[in-house]
Amino acid sequence: MALWKPDPSFYPSARMASQAPPEKLAYVVTFDPQTALGRSRNGKPDSLVVVDVDPSSASCGKIVGRLELGTGNELHHFGWNACSAALCPYAPHPHVERRYFIIPGLRSSRIFIVDTKPDPRKPALVRTIEPEEVAARTGYSRPHTVHCGPDAIYMNALGAPNGEGPGGVFLLDHDSFDVLGRWEVDRGPQYLAYDFWWHLGHDVAITSEWGTPSMVENGVNPDLLLAGRYGHAIHIWDLRKRRHLQTLDLGAEQQMVLELRPSHDPTRLFGFVGVVVSTRDLSASVWTWFRDDKGWQIRKTIEVPAEPADPAQLPPALKPFKAVPPLITDINLSLDDRFLYVSCWGTGEFQQYDVSDPMKPKLTGSVHLGGITRKAQHPRAGELNGGPQMVELSRDGRRVYLTNSLYAAWDEQFFPDGVRGWMTKIDTNPNGGMSLDKNFFVPFEGERPHQVRLEGGDCSSDSFCYP
């Protein structure tokens, strides 16, 4: 009789996962901006690159592997096929292993299935799912985010094949990677899509809002922004019944409600969502959602103001405002639910908050890298452009990895000189505070890096069913 054992990188609880061995490799998706923007047909291939992050290795901080995945895809948020959610009691999958990456092309709508075994430094492409298959089986296009669920691989998409909405969630089979179909049974008023996640122990799903493909693919549309047409709400769902329950509207001035980070402890019912910009004053913010005896609620708990600036130093889109908006484009939550990390892409500031009380975050650390006007330096590279954007945190909470590209068309609007790709590392103090690792800097020549995933899992890859 076959004996099935869970993957050793799966952990019942976030507390146990935080005690896992440190990562030795990081995986980063990159894309060629010239091809993504339609300026070239023969650009550098989009790639999954492997970066050595083992401090005892002679190649630490260097690219040690690469898998080319064609051009024009604009590889974006990717994730593992399986994770600790496979240990949930109501839908166990002991036969799955954390082995494959599911990598969506946000511009091409292709999905690449990549095997990281047997040699983690030499990932291999095993299947390509074409956009026609996604559209035929789901009605969706522009796949964006991947989460490994207890029963399937969950993906979301920004919209429909014609570039409009609605956007939503669809599923892939754990074993065959076949597209199973649309997740929503009753979507209610939900139309815009961006991120999604869940509170598995409470059978609750959460989704957020950006815009339809036609609203985002050519950059920020000022008319839509000032009219409050981009996403400004999150949606609460019954995870098992796949039905919309409630909309929590932050207000039309809160434009682009993006990254969701729910509590890792399944007995707690709160989470954080970042808002890119307020049309009232160009500030950015983080909001905390929760449920109490009055039902679901959401409140602004962090606000980062815009910084005054000389219009001569600003890109055309910002000159009339004489200020640099923080532009919160990514956030991440440590596995102990204690520290929240916030990327302010516009000002180049990376922040750490103590969120032991999720309703009263306290700023405990700040590092500057790049920024629209600040262009804060790194000791290994001098002045940087772009800014802290995608953020990934090690399971023990001691190391943060940052990359600097958001989305090709948006990069060009806010950094007209172009975004020269880089990856950096921040070291954190378990009691609060953080500092730049002055020796770790990975440049990306002719390509831009986006999502980072860590070997064995990280703070935004796994869901846990035990406290």
Other beta carbons less than 10 A from residue 302's beta carbon:
23
Q: How far is CA 260 from CA 170, 236, 318, 341, 397, in A?
A: 18, 12, 27, 12, 18
Residue 246's Cβ-side half-sphere holds a number of Cα atoms within 13 Å equal to: 12
Q: How many residues are given for the chain? A: 467
Band (1; pLDDT cuts 50, 70, 90): very low
CA–CA separation, 424 and 386 (whole Å):
12
Q: How far is CA 373 from CA 54, 58, 106, 419, 425, in A?
A: 33, 35, 29, 13, 22
Other beta carbons less than 10 A from residue 224's beta carbon:
15
CA–CA separation, 169 and 153 (whole Å):
10
CA–CA separation, 83 and 439 (whole Å):
31
Return the pLDDT at 2. 52
- Which is more confident, 417 or 138? 138
| Average pLDDT value for residue range 342-355 | 98
CATH of 24-454, one of 3.20.20.80, 3.40.50.970, 2.130.10.10, 3.20.20.370: 2.130.10.10
Q: Is the peptide bond before 118 cis (omega within 30 degrees of 0)?
A: yes
pLDDT digits (tens, 9 = 90+) for 49-98: 999 999 999 999 999 999 999 999 999 999 999 999 999 988 767 678 99
Instruction: Name the residue with tokens 């094949």.
Output: 161
CA–CA separation, 173 and 123 (whole Å):
21
pLDDT digits (tens, 9 = 90+) for 313-338: 999 989 999 999 999 999 999 999 99
Least confident of 5-9, 40-44, 103-107, 347-351: 40-44
CA–CA separation, 242 and 244 (whole Å):
7
| Average pLDDT value for residue range 189-203 | 97
Band (5; pLDDT cuts 50, 70, 90): confident
Other beta carbons less than 10 A from residue 8's beta carbon:
11
pLDDT digits (tens, 9 = 90+) for 57-68: 999 999 999 999
Band (7; pLDDT cuts 50, 70, 90): very high
Return the pLDDT at 62. 98
SS3 126: strand
The token duo for 56 is 């005892």
Q: How far is CA 416 from CA 222, 345, 377, 411, in A?
A: 17, 14, 19, 7
Return the pLDDT at 35. 86
Task: Check: CB of residue 10 under 8 Å from CB of residue 86.
Answer: yes
| Average pLDDT value for residue range 157-175 | 97
Cα angle vertex 464, ends 459, 465, to 5°? 165
The token duo for 392 is 């990934």
Return the pLDDT at 90. 81
Return the pLDDT at 38. 80
Question: Does the pLDDT value for residue 283 go beyond 90?
Answer: yes
Q: What percent of the chain has pLDDT over 90?
A: 93
Question: Does the pLDDT value for residue 140 go beyond 50?
Answer: yes
Task: Check: CB of residue 76 under 8 Å from CB of residue 455.
Answer: no
